[in-house]
């Protein structure tokens, strides 16, 4: 019975229940503590890149940060969300549709 309990605890570890991190809102400390393989220096580089270039729209944008390649980015993808870019895109679409209606 103990072996079964240990098996289930390992199977459903904390990472399974972790909430994805919004990379466009998180500070360096939150990024380094929430993402494996991202220490304080890389987390600070992510925040700095975001300040200089705007929000990340996809995992590909994260690859532009020095020290983060495609392999690291693909490993992080399951732990990240890009909320601001999704919300901004959704908000812009109705405006475009309204403008198209007015021109007809």
Specify if 62 maps to a domain.
yes
Total domains present in the chain? 1
pLDDT of residue 14: 45
How remote is the C-alpha of 45 from its chain's centroid?
14
User: Span 3-8, mean pLDDT?
Assistant: 49
CATH of the domain at 43: 1.10.150.280
Specify if 103 maps to a domain.
no
Tell me the residue range of the domain where 64 lies. 19-92
* Cα–Cα distance, 87 to 84 (Å, whole number): 5
pTM of the predicted structure, to 2 decimals: 0.65
Specify if 2 maps to a domain.
no
Specify if 102 maps to a domain.
no
Specify if 100 maps to a domain.
no
pLDDT tens-digit series, residues 45-100: 999 999 999 999 999 999 999 999 999 999 999 999 988 554 444 444 455 555 55
pLDDT of residue 99: 52
pLDDT tens-digit series, residues 35-54: 988 999 999 999 999 999 99
Specify if 99 maps to a domain.
no
């Amino acid at each position: 019975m103990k072996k079964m309990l240990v098996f289930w605890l390992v199977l459903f570890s904390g990472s399974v229940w972790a909430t994805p991190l919004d990379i466009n809102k998180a500070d360096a400390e939150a990024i380094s503590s929430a993402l494996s393989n991202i220490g304080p220096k890389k987390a600070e580089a992510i925040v700095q890149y975001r300040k200089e270039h705007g929000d990340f729209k996809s995992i590909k944008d994260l690859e532009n940060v020095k020290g983060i390649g495609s392999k690291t980015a693909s490993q992080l993808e399951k732990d990240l969300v890009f909320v601001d870019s999704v919300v901004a895109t959704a908000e812009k679409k109705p405006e475009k549709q309204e403008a198209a209606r007015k021109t007809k």
